[in-house]
Amino acid sequence: MNDTTPSTSFWWGQYNLSSNQNKKWCIGPLALIVRCLNGEWQVGYERQENTEVCESSWSTSDTDQPPESLEEYARYIFRETTGLLTITPQLADRAVVTRPLSPFSLIAGEEATIYISSPIWLSLSVGQSNKKLDEIGIQRPSDTWFGPSPREGELCYASSTHCRLSLDELPLRTHRAITPLVIQNQADSTLLVERINLPAPMLPLFSSDDGQLWTPKVTLTREKDGDMAALIIDTLPPEEATGATQLNKPRKSTSGSVLIRAFNAVFS
């Protein structure tokens, strides 16, 4: 009964569930089981502790295991249900803080391109009118604070992977999105890059034809001394993503150039 080979290389898209069918997805560390009954949708999910499991592959199958057997379980009642389930990937709802393997310095006038991997959320919606049920994080990233002091700043997610200077070093995973980030230091002083704040809610989401999720290229220009930088987000998908299609719009829309606190924010 276990059909584990996916029909497409993407875990997102539309699925048709027949009544009383339990469908299970294993995406990264997340196990998700959905059942459609007459007038009711049942969703169960849990994350495995060991994140080495289901690294770059994903699978979907029919199962006898009911959704309520998993740790988190919810029921949604509708007037009528059609069995149509749409799964969409979403970027994080907060900024993501990422660190290089070891801090590096950017001299005045220099530029660096790094690749950041950020976590993805699953958005479940049902029916032709795409009524949203819930958003489930494939991983639960750790909370972190990004700001100059414990008094001011913002609550962000801490990325579980380091950012890399070369795309080859970044392990490609279907449940994480890759962002090419260009840092330009146009100030007079050297910038020591220890941590970078990526404003994920402002980015749209694309997928390349090999099933990898991407965001457009982001440029952070440090014009003056300090931690602030001008943020410019490309509208087109990055060149590294071949045959890209847009999956989602940004959660927060921004117009033009925005000034954000992007670097370090060191405090003891």
Instruction: Compose the 186-205 pattern: x for residues touching another protein by CB under 8 A, - for all others.
Output: ---------x----------
Site size for another protein (CB under 8 A): 16
Q: Does 135 bind another protein (CB under 8 A)?
A: no
Q: Does 150 bind another protein (CB under 8 A)?
A: yes
Q: Does 101 bind another protein (CB under 8 A)?
A: no
User: How far apart are alpha carbons 251 and 195 in whole angstroms?
Assistant: 23
- Cβ distance to another protein smaller for residue 120 or 187: 120
Q: Does 79 bind another protein (CB under 8 A)?
A: no
Nearest distance from residue 209's CB to another protein, in Å?
33
List beta partners, residue 198.
96
- Cβ distance to another protein smaller for residue 4 or 51: 51
3-state secondary structure the chain: CCCCCCCCCCCCEEEECCCCCEEEEEECCEEEEEEEECCEEEEEEEECCCCCCCCCCEEEEECCCCHHHCCEEEEEECCCCCCEEEEEEEECCCCEEECECCCEEECCCCEEEEEEEEEEEEEEEECCCCEEEEEEECCCCEEEEECCCCCCCEEEEECCCCEECCHHHCCCCCCEEEEEEEEEECCCCCEEECCEEECHHHCCEEECCCCCEECCCEEEEECCCCCEEEEEECCCCCCCCCCCEEEECCCCCCCCCEEEECECCCCC
- Cβ distance to another protein smaller for residue 194 or 240: 194
* Residue selected from 145, 211, 228, 232 as contacting another protein according to rule CB under 8 A: 145
Q: Does 53 bind another protein (CB under 8 A)?
A: no
* Residue selected from 155, 192, 258, 259 as contacting another protein according to rule CB under 8 A: 155
Half-sphere exposure of 206 (CA within 13 A, CB side): 22
Q: Does 264 bind another protein (CB under 8 A)?
A: no
Identify which range of 13-21, 82-90, 145-153, 249-257 contacts another protein by CB under 8 A: 145-153
Contact 20, 131 (CB under 8 A): no
Q: Does 249 bind another protein (CB under 8 A)?
A: no
- Cβ distance to another protein smaller for residue 96 or 247: 96
* Residue selected from 111, 143, 210, 239 as contacting another protein according to rule CB under 8 A: 143
User: How far apart are alpha carbons 9 and 13 in whole angstroms?
Assistant: 11
Nearest distance from residue 145's CB to another protein, in Å?
5
- Cβ distance to another protein smaller for residue 79 or 151: 151
- Cβ distance to another protein smaller for residue 28 or 141: 141
Q: Which residues bind another protein (CB under 8 A)?
A: 97, 140-146, 150-151, 153, 155, 158, 195, 267-268
